[in-house]
């Protein structure tokens, strides 16, 4: 298989996998997950090389504590289900942040673009999230992306620098069962040329 087919297969195989087992696949280590996240946080391109993407991997008792506090902070019983399932079933969660200090620095350095930098930071953060989601699939891990941002931010107070703002959570574990059916719209990419 060519490198391009291998890359595309990996990319098109990534799915939202809610049903997880609290484990790593046999032979897979947390160090491998950490290496992937580290490489992607390092090499994801950012506007003017502002390097705004940050991440931590939560696992073990702290993981469960964070998701318990998210669950506790949600008043509606039905809405507790997802964060509680992460606590019960996910081996870990990769928390993605934008570093507000790095963002401020680049905004001050290039005032005409100041309003655009948060959007550019989001673009880079999304790239890091989705590429991480794709690559951990190559380790046999499945996951789903969540946005309990203010609640996770509160639960991580004192554990990460104050300037880091939570952007997304990628819960992961060994996938159990199949992801749901996915429909695609008709969305042809045309080549335009004159």
Alpha helices per DSSP H over 14-147: 30-43, 60-73, 81-89, 100-109, 117-137
> Nearest residue to ligand FMN, using CB?
16
Task: Report the distance separating Cα 16 and Cα 3, nearest Å.
Answer: 24
Residue choice 90, 144, 155, 174 for contact with ligand FMN (CB under 6 A): 144
Size of the site for ligand FMN (CB under 6 A): 9
Q: Which of 122, 137, 128, 126 is nearest to 16 (CA)?
A: 137
Q: Does 52 bind ligand FMN (CB under 6 A)?
A: no
Residue choice 100, 145, 153, 160 for contact with ligand FMN (CB under 6 A): 145
Q: Does 184 bind ligand FMN (CB under 6 A)?
A: no
Per-residue binding letters, 103-142, with ligand FMN (x by CB under 6 A): -----------------------x----------------
Residues in the site for ligand FMN, rule: CB under 6 A?
A: 15-16, 126, 144-147, 179, 182
């Amino acid at each position: 298989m060519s490198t391009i087919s291998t890359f595309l297969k990996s990319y098109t195989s990534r799915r939202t996998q809610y049903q997880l087992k609290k484990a790593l696949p046999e032979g897979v280590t947390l160090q491998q997950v950490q290496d992937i996240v580290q490489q992607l946080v390092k090499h994801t391109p950012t506007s003017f090389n502002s390097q705004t993407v940050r991440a931590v991997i939560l696992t073990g008792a702290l993981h469960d504590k964070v998701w318990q506090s998210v669950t506790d902070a949600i008043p509606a019983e039905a809405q507790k289900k997802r964060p509680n399932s992460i606590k019960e079933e996910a081996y870990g969660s990769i928390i993605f942040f934008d570093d507000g200090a790095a963002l401020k620095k680049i905004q001050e350095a290039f005032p005409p673009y100041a309003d655009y930098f948060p959007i550019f930071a989001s673009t880079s953060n999304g790239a890091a999230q989705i590429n991480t989601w794709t690559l951990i699939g190559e380790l046999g891990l499945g996951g789903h992306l969540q946005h309990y941002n203010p609640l996770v931010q509160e639960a991580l107070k004192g554990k990460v620098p104050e300037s880091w703002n939570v952007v997304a959570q990628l819960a992961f574990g060994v996938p159990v069962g199949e992801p749901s059916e996915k429909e695609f719209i008709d969305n042809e990419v045309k080549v335009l040329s004159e």
